[in-house]
A = this chain, B = another copy of it.
Amino acid sequence: MADDITQGFSFEVVRTCPETGARAGILRTPHSEIETPVFMPVGTQATVKTMSQQELEEFDARIILGNTYHLYLRPGPKLIREAGGLHGFMGWNSSILTDSGGFQVFSLSDLRKITDEGVEFRSHLDGSTHLFTPESVIEIEHDLGADIIMPLDECIPYPATPEYVERSCRLTEEWAGRARETHEKLGDSSCVLFGICQGSIYPNLREHFARRLVEMDFWGYAIGGLAVGEPKKHLFEMVEVTNAVLPENKPRYLMGVGFPDDIVEGVSLGVDMFDCVMPTRNARNGTVFSRDGKVVLKNAYQARDFGPIDPECACPACRHYTRAYIRHLFQCGEILAPRLATLHSICFYLETMREMRRAIIDNRFVKWRLEFLRRYRKEDTINEL
């Protein structure tokens, strides 16, 4: 397939943990060299909420997400193309991945209607009606100009019957084929297309449709439709089932996951890429993450805590400001509050990924995982995998 030799793109696994499925790799795009496992900060509307692109660069973020649904509605793909694609529009020189908009169509818009052709939906902004087809979404994503693009899929809500899930997965599979055709027809080799594996919590459906996608040979594979309300044991079981089918030499992306400890478990199971609004959204609400778990900055007992969020953290929020000050900013509704909280949490996520990667490379991932989870969850009962 053409994608495999797409210029400037490559993926290689440089080390695999002998005891778990964890792997360290390098994903190259024309815009950056991404060390995996990687967490991709979410920049829904062409901005990682509260952060500047320079702050992301200082944290050595090498890939971020943009959202096709939001950017299609505003400012529109043609304007972004005129601005030199998302990279030019937002002044971001590293890699970008755009999702397909499928998840947002199903979570944000009302009056959606799925047909074989595509999905009709109403804008959450002005109620106007729009149609996404597998073809139109790929065209939009080519206008946006991301490095990695996703095909339109149905993100199945939880719970769903096996019958519904099977029907939906057939549609997602068909759409994936049409997306690939459009992608190849556009003949633009500046981005690569992933396939999205669905199947809700049914191992046999997950396995079956993952195989079908692998037969279609995508450049990489996403595991979608998880972390949508199902019990956590299902989440990890589905990842395991899917990864068993996915080829070793292709990147694997677990969409929308998640909490720091869930990401560690995802890495253990062989996932390379993650994204989630968790660190940014929670930060704006005053909750940040650290080695010792969640920290609720708004709590009254922070008022006289004149130490940093995390004395071991090197982010600007921890280097320059106290919990007491940040809490005061939250109490006052000052913009510097979500800024500092977001800086800390994004720094923590990215730094945790780098630590994990070093542990995999140094053949000490199992030990690292155990120590991290025990401290993070404040439990001594973490299972050794």
Q: Which residues of A approach B to under 8 Å, CB–CB?
A: 45-47, 49-54, 70, 74-75, 79, 82-83, 89-91, 303-304, 306, 316, 320-322, 324-325, 328-329, 331-332, 334-336, 338-340
Contact = CB atoms under 8 A, between A and B. Distances in A.
A303 B91 contact: no
A50 B332 contact: no
A321 to B, nearest CB: 5
Given A45-B332, A49-B335, A91-B325, A303 B54 contact: no
B325 A79 contact: no
B75 A336 contact: no
**Copies, count:** 2
Contacts of A79: 303-304, 324
Contacts of A331: 74-75
A320 B75 contact: no
21 contacts: A45-B328, A45-B332, A45-B334, A46-B328, A47-B334, A50-B335, A51-B336, A53-B320, A54-B316, A54-B320, A75-B303, A75-B331, A79-B324, A82-B304, A82-B306, A89-B324, A89-B328, A91-B325, A335-B335, A335-B338, A339-B339
Nearest to A332: B45
Contacts of A75: 303, 324, 328, 331
A328 B332 CA distance: 27
6 tightest A-B CB contacts, nearest first: A50-B335, A45-B332, A75-B328, A91-B320, A47-B336, A47-B334
Contact of A91 (B52, B70, B321): B321
Contacts of A51: 336
Nearest to A52: B336
Given A54-B320, A74-B331, A91-B322, 4 more contacts: A47-B329, A50-B339, A79-B304, A89-B328
Given A52-B316, A54-B316, A83 B325 contact: yes
A46 B325 contact: yes
A250 B133 CA distance: 72
Contacts of A89: 322, 324-325, 328
A148 to B, nearest CB: 22
Contacts of A321: 90-91
A335 B324 contact: no
Contact of A324 (B49, B74, B83, B334): B83
A43 B242 CA distance: 53
A83 B339 contact: no
A329 B89 CA distance: 11
Contacts of A328: 45-46, 74-75, 89
Nearest to A91: B320
Contacts of A304: 79, 82
A123 to B, nearest CB: 13
Nearest to A48: B336
A116 B111 CA distance: 65
Contacts of A339: 50, 52, 335, 339
Contacts of A82: 304, 306
A334 B49 contact: yes
A340 to B, nearest CB: 8
A372 to B, nearest CB: 30
In this complex, which of A52, A89, A331, A340 has the most chain B Cβ atoms within 10 angstroms of its Cβ?
A52
